[in-house]
Structure 1
Amino acid sequence: MRQQIARVVSSRLFAKGLLVLALVVPGLGVAPVLAASALAQEQARPAATGDAPAATHPPGAAIASAHALATQAGIDTLRAGGNAFDAAVAVSAMLSVVEPISSGIGGGGFFLLHDARSGKDVFVDARETAPESATPQAYLDGQGELDRDRATNGPWSAGIPGLPAALVHVSSKYGRLPLATALAPAIRVAREGFEIYPRMEKGYASRREVMERYRGTRAVFLADGDPPTTGEILRQPELARTLELLAQKGFDGFYRGETAKKLLAAVKQEGGRWRADELAGYRVKEREPLKFDYRQWHVTTAPPPSSGGVAMAQILQVLEGWDLGKLDDAHRRHLVVEAMRRAYRDRTIYLGDPDFVKVPVARLTHPAYAAGLRATIHPDKATPSALLPGQPAPLEDDETTHFSILDAEGNRVSTTQTVNLLYGSGMVAPGTGVLLNNEMDDFALRPGTPNAFGVMGFGANAPAAGKRMLSSMTPSFIESDDTLAILGAPGGSRIITQVLLGILGYDAGLDAQQVAALPRYHHQWMPDAISAEPGALPADTIAALQAMGHTVSPGESTWGNLQTVSWDKRTNTLEGGSDPRNPVGRAEVLPAGK
């Protein structure tokens, strides 16, 4: 019955150009009726003809994040008179408290903002930066090979954090409430505690050996004498104090003074080398977002040092050359995979920090370049990745987080933030509660050598003092005459394809929750295989793809944690979608005046 529902829905959606089945992934605890609801909602929605006037302002606000406490913090901030940017600070800070497995003020992120009053879009780059000590030679062992432990664990793996500076910047430049007001919910929960959930417990178990090397980490996570267990309350009074200093003193509350001294001392004690001027010299950067059109959609997304926007522009512009709705399932997937393959090849070769290397963004995202890539795709045969010049780039980790916000004024925020690996470097700086990132491993520390997740890089992504490591984070807005959607996801190199499939889902008419629940498949050039979640590809499609020469790995573990909100401007309704793969996430709509 599940397969029959999927096929009925997929046939309707493919007629609109959707490239993924609206089949709920088994084991996620979501009934297959969600797939069937695509048909029911299509029939039940109010008629929205082209003659109906589009609303000019949303009828309220909507927030989707990876934890219910973070969503609630954002809602409370809006109710206190804040705008979407104040709410973003509140949500980001709360995720830093309740999702140490994924993000925190010891890490960084990207904030894609739209100011409704001015109509301006801005990309706030709060990616971590390399300290001067982080030369490629510093990460080699006695045999000249990459020292994997130093690259992923402890102080040498940590870049200078960017998220605290982003919270201050977004609050002071775009918010309307005091920073202390937006940070208050996170401070309270850090002090009073929150309930540990299964992903935290499992993640700690996988990183326990590293976590328990460090005195500061033991003080937080072994405070009761044993490792975190689901249902226990985790309290972080030192993190609450650090957030209070940030609230009181702004930038100087983290990058100078008491907190900075403790961070520097902790890094030095564990053998690392950060300098006070490197901390005090950190700055967020405002960049022009990357913009392009796909069919009726105008897409606003992340520029370098994210690779996501460039790759997504390439993939969608390549696909625009076919009438996908007229193709059978296997050939649609084949074309999507071939477009993915070529974009990920370019990601590995060309992309890095644009302040340090010349990134050919204009060429890579030009429709003529997409047409050239399209011409290399055989309609019935897979292109072996080995025939595309370059070096292989397998998977990255998926421990990142995302949230999406739209307020009643039309301001919008799409934010992705991370500490990289599960629990970052594993090291909490004593006296601060700050869990440091391990983003240095996202650099090409040894050219041509895979990092912890098999991702390779070369000179464009080599470390240098003050340089930002390449990312796949892809916070995005998409807008048509009828619909606005805000979306993004964690997932390492799979972030890009999650957002891609989400855009295709919206293009097919799915609502926000259906987009968040869509099964996923992925190809990233190397390894030369299609990865797929359980049920994402029908058996006959898999067989057809294999006959074309594709290697298919179906039934992999589920991945990602997509968070999205949307506004139907014709019916003037809001929807939120929180990924059912993450049971602690929540999307909430706040009607105007509530």
Structure 2
Amino acid sequence: MKHLLNWRVTLLALLVSSSVAYADSRPSAPPAATSPTHAIAQRPGHAGVASANFHATEAGLEVMAKGGNAFDAAIAVASTLSIVEPESSGIGGGFMAVIHRADGHEVFIDARETAPASVNLSDYLNKDGTPNRDNALNGPLSAGIPGEPAGLAWLAAHYGKLPLKDSLAPAIRIARDGFKPDGRLINAITERENEIRRWPASVAKYLPGDKPPVAGEVWRDPDQAHTLELLGEHGFDGFYRGETGKKLVDAVRAAGGNWTAKDLESYQVKERTPITVDYRGYRVVTAPPASSGGVAVAEILNILAGYDLTRLDDAHRTHLVIEAMRRAFRDHNDYLGDPDFVKMPLDMLLSPYYAAGLRMTILPDKATPSSMLPASIGVDPGMHTTHFSVIDKDGNIASITLTVNYTMGSTFVAAGTGVLLNDEMDDFALVPNKPNVYGLLGSAANAPAPGKRMLSSMTPSIVFGADRVGVIGSPGGSTIITQVLEGILAFMDGKDAAGIVAQKRFHHQYMPDRVDMEPGAFDAGTADALTRMGYTLKERNPWGYMNVVTWDLKANKLDAASDPRRESGLGKVQ
């Protein structure tokens, strides 16, 4: 008990004595290019893509075969996923990307959704002040202004080699000619059928013949094909203005939403400086706010840097990782939000000295109850969103995570567009210190405001070592952060792409105070030891779906792997 009390004194001293620099508010311009010292001299000479659907992977490879680079391929993969994997992402949602250009330039692209100008907190509260989960998760009030179409146009204009319409061509073809939905999409439609039935355009798209699609049927999406064609021809204006923009606003307002034409026209992609952390000879480049993931991963790695994990047995290694997770998620809840709206003590959170103070609070063989920190209540973390990884023949790298938030997003399709809207408004702290659908808590830093980006767990990352490069990311709601962390550690342990995506996973997010684990994550001895340390273990499924590309610099060989938990995923090198 004395040790647990002392850690609070230690942290207080650090906070008082440190000269804390805060993140700048409302950056006026994209960050300058990263120094070319991060360029890799050699080139792979071949390309690799790993995504959650083979149609998307093949689309990325097709575009690169026609002269496109990794960023053109990213457009092809993302737009194809919008057609074949709408349960997890789409042009009605947003994305976050960490990209590394072959010349060494590294940047984070924030195409996260934003709150409409007329956002009204009372729309998301019941009369008793509790969160109104229906409005936050279903229908047009749950939808933020989409960022993915603007992000795809930005990639093409600033980083790609091909016209946007050429990179969108595979998705448009698949939408027009049709594809056979996989089991996960069919199950998602069935799971959300009651909500889908509330919206006529959603019924027309996802319940053809008044029922969910069945395995083996060919499914077409002509409305979304047309929307993508307009995006390809006119770029940003093809989605946010003109025909598509008007249809989106009209549909949302007719169904009780509050979007305006100005909300769409004023959307902006943001370029930000990635978070970089050095850990035992590796350089990890990851996502800054409005993602919470990179800060949490960096904080965890900084804590773990004080231990030699290779000298520990599985139980004690896992114990230290869990305790680092617990502390990072606590800070996630208290401090983080949209950097254009809130000041965050990032220098403190990312400081190795702050991590050293946190490390002092970890007992060597006993769990620290989260009740020793401010108490709260959480629910099960979710398993949605999607991620893909790309390396092209020249060494350009894209690590991109996309989402519509919950399964099938808002379930609301804007009539005449084929666009399934997100339900990202639930990612705001609609009621401070009350959990969202993923059990994550938030403070006023993540409260909704006009034009504000909601905090995200998306954690696209690139890991650079002396002999290897890894492109890593995953869906999974709040578990994205811990899955990416475990993928990074597995990469550093020498696992290949297939080994990284297949390894069993575990997760702790501060509240609820338990360890969620994949069946088989711990052997009997490790599970027993963790239980005796004071941990509550809970098996859960599903888990995934990670997609990884690695580059062996010595052999100059790429390796791509898609999570085996997803049958339709594909990692491929050509």
State TM-score, norm by structure 2.
0.92
* Structure 1 residue aligned with 2:434: 449
- Paired position in structure 1 for 2:551: 567
| Residue of structure 2 in register with 1:14 after alignment | none
Q: 1:192 and 1:251 mapped to 2: Cα distance?
A: 25
> Partner residue of 2:481?
496
1:205 maps to: 190
Q: Do 1:401 and 1:416's aligned partners in 2 also have CA atoms closer than 8 Å?
A: yes
- How far apart, CA to CA, are the structure 2 residues paired with 1:352 and 1:396? 19
3-state SS of paired residue (2:192): helix
* Higher deviation after alignment, 457-466 or 197-206: 197-206
1:183-202 equivalences in 2 (<5 Å): 183-202=168-187
What's the % identity of the aligned pairs?
A: 54
Cα deviation, residue 452, structure 1: 2.3
Alignment of 1:149-548 (within 5 A): 149-389=134-374, 391-548=376-533
C-alpha distance in structure 1 between counterparts of 2:130 and 2:96, whole Å: 32
Structure 1: how far apart are the matches of 2:120 and 2:259?
13
Structure 2 counterpart SS, 1:293: strand
Alpha-carbon offset, residue 231 of structure 1: 2.0
Distance 1:233 1:224 in 2: 13
CA contact (8 A) 1:195 1:231 kept: yes
Q: Name the structure 1 match of 2:90.
A: 104
Q: Contact 2:137–2:423 (CA<8 Å) still a contact in 1?
A: yes
Q: Is the 8 A contact 2:438 2:478 kept in 1?
A: no
Alpha-carbon separation, structure 2, partners of 1:468 and 1:233: 37
Q: Is the CA contact 2:316–2:365 (under 8 Å) kept in the aligned structure 1?
A: yes
**Which whole-Å deviations, capped at 9, do the CAs of 1:23-47 have from their partners, x for residues lacking one?**
xxxxxxxxxxxxxxxxxxxxxxxxx
Letter of the structure 2 residue corresponding to residue 234 of structure 1: W
- Check conservation: 1:264, 1:274, Cα contact below 8 A: yes
> Once the 2 structures are TM-superposed, how far is the Cα of residue 229 of structure 1 from its aligned partner?
1.6
Distance 2:437 2:561 in 1: 31
Report how far residue 395 of structure 1 moved: 4.1
Answer yes or no: is the 8 Å Cα contact 1:395–1:493 preserved in 2.
no
Give the residue type in structure 2 aligned to 1:229: V
Residue equivalent to 1:82: 68
Give, in angstroms, the shift of residue 135 of structure 1. 2.3
1:394 CA displacement: 4.3
Q: Which secondary structure state, in structure 2, belongs to the residue aligned with residue 195 of structure 1?
A: coil
Find the counterpart in structure 2 of residue 51 from structure 1: none
Asked if the contact 1:63/1:589 (under 8 Å) is kept, the reply is: yes
CA distance in 2, matches of 1:248, 1:127: 23
How many Å separate the matches in 2 of 1:292 and 1:450? 29
Q: Residue 302 of structure 1 contacts residue 476 of structure 1 at CA under 8 Å; is this kept in 2?
A: yes
Give yes or no for contact 1:393–1:454 (8 Å, CA) kept in 2. yes
Write the deviation string for residues 401-438 of structure 1: whole angstroms up to 9, x where unpaired: 10000011111000000000110000000100000000
Contact 2:96 2:112 in 1 (8 A): yes
- 1:391, distance to aligned residue in structure 2 (A): 3.9
Candidates 79, 91, 116, aligned match of 1:93: 79
Which amino acid counterpart does residue 133 of structure 2 have in structure 1?
Answer: R
Corresponding position: 1:556 with 2:548: no
1:576 corresponds to which residue? Answer: 560
- CA distance in 1 between counterparts of 2:272 and 2:231 reads 24
> CA offset at residue 456 of structure 1?
2.0
> CA contact under 8 A between 1:393 and 1:455: conserved in structure 2?
yes
Match of 1:133, SS? coil
Residue type at the aligned position of 2:64 = L
Distance in 2 separating the partners of 1:131 and 1:532: 37
Is this contact kept in 2: 1:397–1:420, CA < 8 A?
no
From the superposition, tell whether residues 558 and 225 of structure 1 become closer, same or farther in structure 2 (CA, over 3 Å).
closer
What are the superposed Cα offsets for residues 249-304 of structure 1, whole Å, 9 maximum, x if unpaired?
11111000000111111101111111111110001100000001011110000000
1:390 Cα offset (Å)? 5.7
CA–CA separation in structure 2 for the residues paired with 1:514 and 1:55: 27
Q: Is the 8 A contact 2:80 2:171 kept in 1?
A: yes
Which digits, 9 at most, give the CA deviation of each residue in 1:116-155, with x for residues without a partner?
12x1101110000001222222212233322111111000
- What 5-or-longer segments of structure 1 have no aligned partner? 1-53
Whether the 8 Å contact between 1:488 and 1:562 is mirrored in structure 2 is: yes
CA contact (8 A) 1:393 1:524 kept: no
Kindly indicate whether the alpha-carbon contact (under 8 Å) linking 2:139 and 2:412 is maintained by their aligned counterparts in 1. yes
Instruction: State the distance in 2 between where 1:197 and 1:116 align.
Output: 35
1:89-116, Cα deviation, whole Å (9 max, x unpaired): 1111101111110000000010211111
Maintained 8 Å contact 2:295/2:350? yes
Aligned-pair CA distance for 1:393: 4.7
One-letter identity of the residue aligned with 2:547? Q
CA distance in 2, matches of 1:478, 1:539: 32
Structure 1 residue matching 2:209: 3-state secondary structure: coil
3-state SS of paired residue (1:230) = coil
Residue type of the alignment partner of 2:88: S
Q: Give the aligned partner of residue 11 of structure 1.
A: none
Shift of 1:551: 1.0
Provide the C-alpha distance between the structure 1 equivalents of 2:569 and 2:369, rounded to a whole number of angstroms: 39
**1:525-564: CA deviations, max 9, x gaps?**
11111111111101111111111111111x3213111001
Query: What secondary structure does 2:47 align onto?
Result: strand
Let me know the Cα RMSD of the aligned residues: 1.2
- 1:15 is matched with which residue? none
8 A contact 1:392–1:455 mirrored in 2: no
Query: How far apart, CA to CA, are the structure 1 residues paired with 2:127 and 2:287?
Result: 39
One-letter amino acid of the counterpart of residue 564, structure 1: V
Per the alignment, in what secondary structure is the counterpart of residue 259 of structure 2? coil
For 1:443, the aligned partner's letter is F
Amino acid at match of 1:70: A
- Identify the match of residue 58 of structure 1 among 44, 49, 52: 44
- Residue-pair matches, total: 535
Q: Distance in 2 between matches of 1:80 and 1:366?
A: 45
